């Protein structure tokens, strides 16, 4: 669990593996009954924290201008992590599914108590954020973000993803 | 240097002001010289979630009608972001794009540590040429332009001040895609190379023949180099003819090119 400062707001990230209740989490999130509100990201698409921070920056910017494309701040984070403008597809791909076991949990401006509640909510094992790099699914990332061989020669995977997150709305 | 404070981000420091963007340089990497200011905006240094970054802000042109102006600026902003990501896809090193803000009309990139190729070459001019390093840089330039052109991406403003050498990895990084566009025409690719040639001749003639080395690397990395280099030779011949004869040449594909591009190289 780690807290990051973005433009005066804080973002708390926690990485969980062997998650067994992803179906319930997904259902309660879609019903709007999830307390406290969090974003569930498919952690196998995440090789590093930086792209998530870039997506969070974008999300906070949209919120400050009251121009969110999705319904909530946290769903906007999941949408912004995707390289595609298609909302439903992005939420499906970058968010969790019924069978997800490897999940990154994110919450904006949270307190320690709320994070403890979230800990209890998720039936899984929390691991260190550093393990993200080793557990990322490279093939899936290459496919989702359409990353080419030449590009990897000049940049890291995290940078390639960050570029796409930033320029998605410019395309 | 003026310091612009923005409520949202931490204080930004003005680097240099150009026609396109004002760039701010905190360190002495970029000299605040008023000379090569072309472009239409301001560049600042700032902080993006803990990482040092450069924020490029495009001016709005007051002489334009406001609705047209915002549309045009946005279009140029998006084009720049798109061209940068395309260049990356083609395997050309550019700074990582961190954020695109259409409201403030800014682009946020990673801060690349290292001197501009212009400064490196000027240094060679003053203290003698380090052949190996010069060779390496020229090779990287030719290689990068070859990859861009094969992907039909024209940089539009190839000068030594728009190329940085990243300290540590010594990798060439291309910046400023504000004038770039897509074209399959060999004339456009040849103009791109011509602009670079003029820039080298005007500023770095004391470094010897760099262009030859660049073109050699270009030949190696580009698959369609022959038609482009033919056009380059044709154009150079046309121009030297027109300057020597002092009259307008009709097939002026070359002379019809926007003078701004030529002028930017002749600083």
Q: Which band of pLDDT confidence, cut at 50, 70 and 90, is reported for residue A61?
A: very high
Residue range A2-167 in CATH 3.30.2290.10: no
Angstrom CA distances, B164 to B30, B97, B121, B128, B174, stand at 10, 16, 11, 20, 6
- Judged by a CB distance cut-off of 8 A, whether residue B85 touches chain A is yes
pLDDT tens digit string along B23-49?
A: 443 322 222 222 233 456 788 888 898
Q: Which of 118-147 (B) contact A at CB < 8 A?
A: 147
pLDDT tens digit string along B74-86?
A: 999 999 999 999 9
Residues of B in contact with A151 (CB under 8 A): 88-91
The Cα–Cα gap between B211 and B214 comes to 5
Q: Which band of pLDDT confidence, cut at 50, 70 and 90, is reported for residue A43?
A: very high
Q: Which band of pLDDT confidence, cut at 50, 70 and 90, is reported for residue A103?
A: very high
Tell me what the mean pLDDT of segment B71-76 comes to: 90
Q: Which band of pLDDT confidence, cut at 50, 70 and 90, is reported for residue B249?
A: very low
Tell me what the mean pLDDT of segment B163-189 comes to: 92
HEC-encoded secondary structure of chain B: CCEECCCCCCCEEEEEECCCECEECCCCCCCCCCCCCCCCEEEEEEEECCEEEEEEEECCCCCCCHHHHHHHHHHHHHHHHHHHHHHHHCCCCCCCEEEEECCCCEEEEECCCCCEHHHHHHHHHHHCCCHHHHHHHHHHHHHHHHHHHHCCEECCCCCHHHEEEECCCCEEEECCCCCCEECCCHHHHHHHHHHHHHHHHHHCHHHCCHHHHHHHHHHHHCCCHHHHHHHHHHHHHHHHHHHHHCCCCCCCCCCCCCHHHHHHHCC
Domain regions of chain A by residue span: 2-167
Say if the Cβ atoms of A155 and B101 lie within 8 Å: no
pLDDT at site B9 = 40
Q: Which band of pLDDT confidence, cut at 50, 70 and 90, is reported for residue B252?
A: very low
pLDDT at site B13 = 65
Say if the Cβ atoms of A167 and B90 lie within 8 Å: no
Tell me what the mean pLDDT of segment A13-21 comes to: 91
Q: Which residue ranges form the domains of chain B, and what is each CATH number?
A: 34-110 (3.30.200.20), 117-239 (1.10.510.10)
Say if the Cβ atoms of B91 and A6 lie within 8 Å: no
Cross-chain CB nearest to A159 (options B48, B81, B96): B96
Cross-chain CB nearest to A65 (options B48, B103, B108): B103
Mean pLDDT is lowest, of A57-66, A68-77, A82-91, B9-18, for B9-18
Say if the Cβ atoms of A163 and B88 lie within 8 Å: yes
pLDDT at site B195 = 92
Residues of B in contact with A57 (CB under 8 A): 48-49, 98-99
DSSP assignment, residue A32? T
* B159 φψ region: left (φ > 0), alpha (ψ -120 to 50), beta (else): beta
DSSP assignment, residue A16? E
In this prediction the ipTM stands at 0.91
Q: Which helix (H) or strand (E) holds A109?
A: none
pLDDT at site B4 = 39
């Amino acid at each position: 669990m780690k807290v990051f400062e973005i433009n005066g707001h804080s973002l708390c990230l926690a990485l969980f593996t062997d998650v067994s209740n992803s179906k319930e989490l997904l259902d309660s999130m879609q019903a709007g009954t999830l307390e406290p509100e969090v974003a569930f990201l498919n952690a196998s698409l995440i090789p590093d924290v930086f792209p998530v921070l870039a997506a969070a920056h974008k999300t906070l910017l949209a919120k400050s201008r009251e121009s969110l494309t999705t319904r909530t701040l946290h769903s906007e984070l999941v949408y912004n992590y995707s390289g595609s403008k298609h909302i439903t597809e992005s939420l499906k791909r970058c968010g969790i599914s019924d069978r997800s076991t490897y999940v990154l949990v994110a919450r904006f401006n949270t307190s320690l108590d709320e994070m403890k509640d979230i800990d209890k909510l998720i039936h899984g094992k929390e691991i260190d954020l550093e393990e993200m790099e080793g557990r990322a699914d490279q093939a899936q990332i290459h496919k989702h973000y359409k990353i080419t061989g030449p590009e990897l020669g000049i940049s890291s995977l995290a940078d390639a993803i960050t570029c796409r997150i930033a320029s998605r709305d410019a395309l | 240097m003026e310091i612009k404070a923005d409520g949202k981000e931490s204080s930004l420091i003005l680097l240099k002001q150009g026609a396109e963007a004002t760039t701010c340089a905190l360190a002495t990497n970029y000299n605040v010289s008023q000379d090569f200011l072309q472009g239409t905006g301001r560049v600042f240094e700032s902080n993006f979630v803990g990482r040092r970054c450069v924020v490029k802000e495009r001016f709005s042109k007051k002489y334009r009608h406001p609705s047209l102006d915002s549309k045009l600026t946005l279009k140029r902003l998006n084009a720049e972001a798109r061209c940068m990501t395309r260049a990356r896809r083609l395997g050309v090193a550019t700074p990582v794009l961190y954020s695109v803000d259409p409201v403030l009309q800014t682009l946020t990139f990673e801060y690349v540590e290292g001197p501009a190729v212009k400064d490196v070459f000027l240094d060679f001019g003053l203290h003698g040429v380090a052949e190996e390093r010069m060779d390496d840089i020229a090779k990287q330039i030719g290689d990068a332009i070859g990859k861009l052109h094969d992907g039909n991406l024209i940089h539009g403003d190839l000068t030594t001040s728009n190329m940085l050498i990243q300290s540590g990895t010594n990798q060439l990084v291309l910046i400023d895609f504000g004038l770039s566009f897509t074209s399959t025409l060999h004339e456009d690719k040849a103009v791109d190379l011509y602009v670079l040639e003029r820039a080298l001749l005007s500023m770095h003639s004391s470094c010897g023949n760099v262009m030859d080395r660049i073109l050699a690397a270009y030949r190696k990395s580009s698959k369609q180099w022959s038609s482009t280099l033919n056009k380059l030779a044709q154009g150079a011949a046309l121009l030297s003819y027109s300057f020597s004869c002092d009259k307008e040449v009709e097939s002026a594909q070359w002379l019809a090119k926007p003078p701004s591009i030529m002028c930017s190289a002749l600083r």
